Amino acid sequence: MTPYPYIAIEGVIGVGKTTLARYLQKALSAELLMEVFEENPFLSDFYADRERYAFQTQIFFLLSRYRQQHQVIPQTIKRNTLVSDYLFAKDHLFANLNLVNDELRVYQSVYAALSERIPAPRLVVYLRANLDTLMERIAIRDRPYERNMERSYIAALQQAYDNLFADYTQAPTLTISTDNMNFVQDLQARQNIVGQIKSALSDGATQPQLPRFQQPSEALASILDDDGARRLPYFQQFHQALDNARNFDTDLYFNYILLTEELGELGAEIAKVWKTQHNLQTDLPARQATQQALAQHKKKLQTELADCMAYLIKLANYTGIDLEAAYLEKMNLNVDREWEKKWTQ
Give domain status of residue 233, yes or no.
no
Q: Do the beta carbons of residue 196 and residue 174 sit within 8 Å? A: yes
Is residue 343 included in any domain, yes or no?
A: no
Task: State the virtual CA torsion across 34, 40, 45, 47 in degrees, nearest 10.
Answer: -20
Per residue in 193-226, pLDDT tens?
A: 888 888 888 755 444 443 444 444 554 455 444 4
- 298 and 179, same structural domain? no
For residue range 57-96, list pLDDT tens digits in order. 999 999 999 999 999 999 999 999 999 999 999 999 999 9
Map residue 175 onto helix, strand or coil: strand
Q: What is the mean pLDDT of residues 108-135?
A: 91
Do 41 and 120 sit in the same domain of this protein?
Answer: yes
- CATH number for the domain spanning 256: value is 1.10.287
Grade residue 229 by pLDDT with cuts at 50, 70 and 90.
very low
The CA–CA distances, whole Å, from 328 to 39, 200, 230 equal 50, 17, 16
Residue 314 lies in a domain: yes
In this structure, the answer to whether residues 188 and 262 fall within a common structural domain is: no
The three-state secondary structure class of 204 is: coil
Nearest CA-CA partner of 124 in 71, 84, 177: 84
- Picking from 22, 168, 8, 14, the residue whose alpha carbon sits closest to that of residue 72 is 8
* 62 and 136 assigned to the same domain: yes
| pLDDT score recorded for residue 2 | 63
- Domain identity same for 182 and 291: no
Task: Judge whether 220 lies within some domain.
Answer: no
Q: What is the pLDDT of residues 310-326, one digit of tens each?
A: 999 999 988 988 888 88
CA-CA distances (angstroms) from residue 33 to 8, 18, 173, 327? 9, 10, 19, 36
φ and ψ of 297, to 5 deg: -105, 5
Q: For 278-320, what is each residue's pLDDT tens digit?
A: 898 888 888 888 888 898 999 999 999 999 999 999 999 889 8
DSSP, res 89: T
Same-domain check for residues 187 and 107: yes
Residues 120 and 17 in one domain: yes
pLDDT mean across residues, the chain: 84
Range of the domain at 269: 249-335
3-class DSSP state of 163: helix
Are 314 and 194 in the same domain? no
Residue 156: CATH number of its domain: 3.40.50.300
**115-120 long-range contacts, CB within 8 A, separation 24+:** 115/88, 115/89, 117/66, 117/70, 118/66, 118/69, 118/70, 118/73, 118/88, 119/6, 119/69, 119/73, 119/74, 119/77, 120/170, 120/171
Same domain, 112 and 183: yes
Q: Are 213 and 130 in contact (CB under 8 A)?
A: no
Q: What's the total number of domains in the chain?
A: 2
